[in-house]
A and B are shown apart, each in its own frame.
Chain A
Amino acid sequence: MSAQPHIEVRNLSMGYGTTVVQRDLNFTINRGDIFVIMGGSGCGKSTLLKQMIGLNRPLAGSILFNGVDYWAASDEAKANLRRGFGVLFQAGALWSSLTLAENVALPLREFTRLPKKVVAEIVALKLALVGLAGFENYYPSEISGGMKKRAGLARAMALDPEILFFDEPSAGLDPLSSQRLDELILELRNGLGATVVLVTHELPSIFAIANNSVFLDAETRTMIAAGDPKLLLKEGPDQVRHFLQRGQP
Chain B
Amino acid sequence: MTPAQLSIEGDPREPRVILRGDWSLRAEVPFFNDIAPQLAQAERVTLVGNELGVWDSSVATFLAALLRHCGGREIEVDQRDLPDGLRRLLALAFAVPARADARGEPAPKGYLEGVGEASLRLWHDLPAMVEFVGEIVLSCQRLLRGKARYRRQDLWYLIEDAGVRALPVVSLISFLVGTILAYMGAVQLALFGAEIYIADLVGLGMVREVGALMTGIILAGRTGAAYAAQLGTMQVNEEIDAFRTLGVSPIDYLVLPRMLALVSMVPLLTLYSGVVGCFAGMLVATGVFHIGMYEYFNETVNALSITHVLVGVMKGTVYGALVAFAGCLRGMQCGRSAQAVGEATTSAVVLGIVLITVAASLLTILFQKIGI
Residues of B within 8 A of A (CB): 25-26, 29, 31-33, 56-58, 60-62, 64-65, 85-86, 88-89, 92-106, 335-340
A–B complex contacts, Cβ < 8 Å, 25 sampled: A96-B338, A112-B25, A112-B26, A114-B25, A117-B31, A121-B31, A122-B58, A125-B57, A125-B64, A128-B98, A131-B96, A133-B96, A133-B102, A134-B98, A134-B99, A134-B102, A159-B25, A160-B25, A160-B56, A184-B92, A187-B89, A190-B85, A191-B60, A192-B85, A193-B85
Chain A contacts for B106, CB-based, 8 A? 137
Query: Which A residues are CB-close (under 8 A) to B103?
Result: 134-138
**For B93, what are the chain A residues with a Cβ–Cβ distance below 8 Å?**
125, 128-129, 133
Identify the 10 closest CB pairs spanning chains A and B, nearest first: A134-B99, A134-B102, A96-B337, A191-B89, A133-B98, A131-B96, A134-B98, A97-B339, A160-B56, A128-B93
**Min distance, Cβ B66 to any Cβ of chain A, angstroms:** 11
What residues of A have a CB within 8 angstroms of the CB of B338 in the complex? 95-97
Tell me which residues from 19 to 35 in chain A have a Cβ below 8 Å from any Cβ of chain B: none
Using a CB–CB cutoff of 8 Å, the interface residues on chain A facing chain B are 95-97, 108, 112, 114-115, 117-118, 121-122, 124-126, 128-129, 131-141, 157, 159-160, 184, 187-188, 190-193
How many Å from the CB of B67 to the closest CB on chain A? 11
Residues from chain B with a CB closer than 8 A to the CB of A193 are 85
Find chain B residues with CB under 8 A from A114 CB.
Answer: 25
Determine whether the beta carbon of A136 is less than 8 Å from that of B102: yes
Output the nearest chain A residue to B106 by Cβ-Cβ distance.
A137
Q: Is there contact, CB below 8 Å, between A97 and B96?
A: no
Asked if residues A122 and B98 are in contact (CB atoms below 8 Å), the reply is no
Chain B: minimal CB distance from A87 (Å) = 17
CA distance A119 to B357 in the complex (A): 49
Q: Give the Cβ gap from A225 to chain B, nearest Cβ, in Å.
A: 31
Q: State the CA gap A140–B337 with chains docked (Å).
A: 9
A192 and B94 contacting across the interface, CB-CB below 8 Å: no
Q: Whole-angstrom distance between the alpha carbons of A16 and B48 in the complex?
A: 54
| Chain B residues in 8 Å Cβ range of A134 | 98-103
